[in-house]
Structure 1
Amino acid sequence: MSGTTAPGTAPGTAPGIDAPTALRLAVLAGAAFVYVTFEVFPVGLIRDIAGDLDVTAARVGLLISGYAVVAALVTVPTVALAARVPRRTALVVSLGVLVVAEVLAAASTGFAMMAVSRVAAALTHGVLWSLIAPAAAALVPREHVGTATAAVFGGASLAAIVGSPGTTLIGELIGWRATALVLAAATVAVTYALLWALRPRGTGPAAREDGAGAGRAAGERIDWPAVLTLCGVAVVLVTAHFLSYTYFAVIVTEVTGTPGSVVALLAVFGLAGAAGTYLIGRHNDRAPQRAATVTMAAFAAGAGLLALAFVPAPRVVQYTVAGIAVAVWGGAFAAAGPVFQTAVMRLAAGDADRASSVYVTGFQVGIAGGSALGAALLGRSAIWLPVASVVLGVVVLAVVLVRRPVPALS
């Protein structure tokens, strides 16, 4: 992206967003950070958790798909219930439930208790993700909605940079249970910050943020066929991603021959994701269809390179190919989040919360499907995971090019 960030703005934000608003967006990004970090908590520690709970790595992987199934089932009804209270209240309650889930994970004495902690977090996952992007959009002028959405999704990218490799590293030092408690403490801090960030401010857009059912305008209708088409495309993309990402540690260990490379490549994945999220911000506001095409092409290319990393070659070559693959893959998937979420809100007209709940449900279906399919393919050979991701990624790219489901700016 050309140009520099204006003074007083956070990374990923554009000139015209003042410093107080940028700080509020950063807090919303923090909420995304802690939720995503716990959602993918088992990824880097999958072997440690499996050994401690005396189950297989594939079974621990199902903790991610199970989480997604629960979130998919409850998102629409819980978001409908949350519409009766201010967004601020709904988001704070969601984070409170997350704290309980993290403490339960730390106290788990067996696989069943760990599963209960995942279910607890999944119950309010959809509420947070359905409301956080509309909450960010309500803080900024319309021409900066794509940028604000990218800024908030930067929290998810930060989870990939710091959260996932960080919890993996900390888990290796103090154990995965103590790491879950560290994450709980971080969530408590974010919750208090959110109480400040979303307090009513005057009569501007931010003041509407605290209203129950905020974001709905009379007379505006959701373009449901377009929304559902876009959600269907997103389901396939997310399936392609989590098919391999759930078993990231297994894939990387098999390619590089050492578990120690998992933390390093998780960090590469996250850094690339942050770059992708930052770069997509303004382009998503200016040329959303082109942004979607580029990100989908990059995703397919990254997954393809990861499959090539399995080809026998000198270890340094495999390391290099794996590093490039992870960077391209991570950057593309992180950029895809703001592109699709912003598109859903544009198609939703005045009811972004409800349309977002359907999108989040589809996202969780993709996570569950990808993790479950990955578990099945893992029994054959780890190389089948990125190969399947490539096939599905190419399908998504073809649909984006032919159907053009991402709406142009009006």
Structure 2
Amino acid sequence: MSTAASTAAPERIDAPTAARLAVLAAATFVYVTFEVFPIGLIHDIAADLEVGVGQVGLLVSGYAVVAGAVTIPAVALAARVSRGSALVVSLLVLLGAELLTATATDFATMVAGRVAAALTHGVLWSLIAPAAATMVPRERVGTATAAVFGGSSLAAIMGSPGTTFVGELIGWRATALLLAVVTAAVTLALVWALRPPLPVDPVVPPGARARRAEPAGGSGTVDWPAVLTLCAVAVVLVVAHFLSYTYFALIVAEVTGAPGSVTVLLAVFGIAGAVGTYLMGRHNDRAPRRAAQVTMAAFTAGVGLLALSLVPAPAAVSWAALGVAVAVWGGAFAAAGPVFQTGVMRLAGAQADRASSVYVTGFQVGIAGGSGIGAALLGHSVGVLPPVSAVLAGAVLIAVLVRRPVPDS
């Protein structure tokens, strides 16, 4: 490649393409919002369905387990149709799950709705980034991926707090119905977004080898050892994150002694995530390996500072350390998603969908593993969680610096 070619400014994303990427981001927004829907309304749901709060909590952890177990086979099944069709069907299943939730009169119906959405969760997350990649030049794949993941960041800022706020006003069933209306609108918009000029894959007859539209500039060769290495590093990252994030409220209460500050700090976490995703998306196009190194250095610093905030100190110092830690931690983890996802797609080339399904499965394993390890460590002390997260984050940083699992182009 010539110097002139390598230093030329990447082609800009035009307005119609930006609109299509926004629709894909909206799809991730509604999916993540439904995934965490029970969290803020857990007491209302439990009282209404006459079950324990712990049972309602299982609707969230059980969702991750189901999604992790079925992602790879579900994506393999989805390969029999076009990527666009699979994405639309995923949202239609989500719509059905939301309607089941809105009309649930017993816990079994709630479980059925959660399982239904979890069955296609991995399909949407495995195909959404490769679909975005087909819309843009190769030099803008990182930006496109970050834009799509922005929907997830927005859900952290508005989705869960929003459903909680609305649920307190109109009830959790009406809120689920409102979310279904939004999902229906997003589904219609997705049909528009995936129409030509986006390359549409032909329907693949059963038994035939599925061929996906390849991300711009991708090759047909897959370096599977490199893909699996990157996915393994990502699993450790997700474990490090959810080991502490699952018990965010407990850590905040331990540091500040003020449980009411949880909402404020969660907002800080979400806003920082949106900023981190935007900033790192641009650097991910120019220098993806450096983007991964900077992101993981920031993540390690964030959870390390979180651990330090637990050390006895004047209240003002503890509050300041906690606030900075949450902002750096939130921004870095949100940015890590598109950085690692884009790396997987670059390594996989034409088999980006299949590789993404492995990555998404690993992500769900990391969520369950981190939450489980955190629950076990809580028996000792909540103060143990951030230091363990920091140690795991340090291991990921070393791997990113030494092994360099994220490709540089």
Same fold (TM over 0.5): yes
Task: State whether residues 44 and 262 of structure 1, in contact with CA within 8 Å, keep that contact through their aligned partners in structure 2.
Answer: no
SS of residue paired to 1:207: coil
Q: Aligned letter for 1:272?
A: A
Deviations 1:24-52 (A, max 9, x none): 00000000111112223344445655666
2:118 to 98, 102, 122: 122
CA contact (8 A) 2:82 2:200 kept: no
Query: Please, which of 120, 125, 150 is the counterpart of residue 154 of structure 1?
Result: 150
> How far is 1:257 from its partner?
3.4
- What does 1:268-279 align with in structure 2 at a 5 Å threshold? 268-279=268-279
27-36 or 178-187: bigger deviation: 178-187
Q: Which moved more, 1:114-123 or 1:267-276?
A: 114-123
Q: Which residue identity does 1:208 align to in structure 2?
A: V
C-alpha distance in structure 2 between counterparts of 1:211 and 1:141, whole Å: 25
SS in 1 for 2:350: coil
| Separation (CA, whole Å) in 2 of partners of 1:51 and 1:326 | 32
What code does the residue aligned with 1:336 have?
Answer: A
Does 2:187 correspond to 1:195? no
- What is the match of residue 309 of structure 1? 309
Residues 232 and 21 of structure 1: CA distance in aligned 2, closer, same or farther (over 3 Å):
same
Q: Which moved more, 1:95-104 or 1:184-193?
A: 95-104
Which stretch of the first structure deviates more once superposed, 144-153 or 169-178? 169-178
Matched to 2:367, the amino acid is I
Distance across 1 between alignment mates of 2:275 and 2:131:
23
2:199 is aligned to 207
Instruction: Supply the AA of the counterpart residue of 2:149.
Output: F
Partners of 2:307 and 2:196 lie apart in 1 by: 50
CA–CA distance in structure 2, aligned partners of residues 322 and 35 of structure 1: 30
Cα deviation for residue 282 of structure 1 reads 1.7
Equivalent residue runs for 1:243-254 within 5 Å: 243-254=243-254
Note closer, same or farther for the CA distance 1:367–1:290 as it changes in structure 2 (3 Å cut). same
Question: What per-residue deviation string (whole Å, max 9, x for no partner) do you get for residues 97-125 of structure 1?
Answer: 11222233344455554333322111001
Q: Secondary structure at the match of 1:351?
A: helix
Tell me the percent identity: 72
Which is further off, 29-38 or 170-179?
A: 170-179
Residues 199, 355 of structure 1: CA spacing in aligned structure 2 closer, same or farther, 3 A cutoff?
same
Aligned to 1:9: none
Alpha-carbon distance between aligned partners in 1 of 2:261 and 2:72, rounded to the nearest angstrom: 39
Q: In structure 1, give the amino acid aligned to 2:59.
A: L
Residue correspondence of structure 1 range 130-279 to structure 2 within 5 A: 130-201=126-197, 206-208=198-200, 213-216=211-214, 220-279=220-279
Superposed, which structure 2 residues align to 1:354-393 within 5 Å?
354-393=354-393
Residues of 1 paired with 2:16 and 2:219: CA distance?
Answer: 32
Q: 1-side partners of 2:45 and 2:255: how far apart?
A: 22
Unpaired stretches in structure 2, ≥5 consecutive residues:
1-9, 205-210
Structure of larger gyration radius? 2
Displacement of 1:235 in angstroms is: 0.7
Shift of 1:62: 4.0
Aligned partners of 2:252 and 2:262 also within 8 Å: yes
Alignment of 1:16-31 (within 5 A): 16-31=12-27
TM superposition shift of 1:75: 0.9
Specify the alignment match of 1:3 in structure 2: none
Judged with a 3 Å threshold, the aligned counterparts in structure 2 of structure 1 residues 221 and 339 are, in CA distance, closer, same or farther, namely same
Structure 1 residues 338 and 155, CA gap change in structure 2 (3 angstroms): same
Q: Match of 2:134, as an amino acid? A: A
| Correspondence for 1:7 | none
Q: Is the 8 A contact 1:44 1:263 kept in 2?
A: no
Do structure 1's residue 72 and structure 2's residue 72 form an aligned pair? Answer: no
Distance 1:48 1:321, change over 3 A: farther
How far, CA to CA, are the matches of 2:169 and 2:320 in structure 1? 27
The letter for the 2-side match of 1:65 is: S
CA distance in 2, matches of 1:193, 1:22: 13
Q: Distance in 2 between matches of 1:369 and 1:61?
A: 16
TM superposition shift of 1:326: 1.4
Deviations 1:295-354 (A, max 9, x none): 111112212222333344454444333222211111001100110010001100211111
Asked whether the 8 Å contact 2:42–2:53 carries over to 1, the reply is: no
Whole-angstrom distance in 2 between the partners of 1:224 and 1:118: 32
Contact 2:270–2:330 under 8 Å retained in 1: yes
Q: Which whole-Å CA distance do the structure 2 matches of 1:188 and 1:254 have between them?
A: 42
Alpha-carbon RMSD across the aligned residues, in angstroms, is 2.5
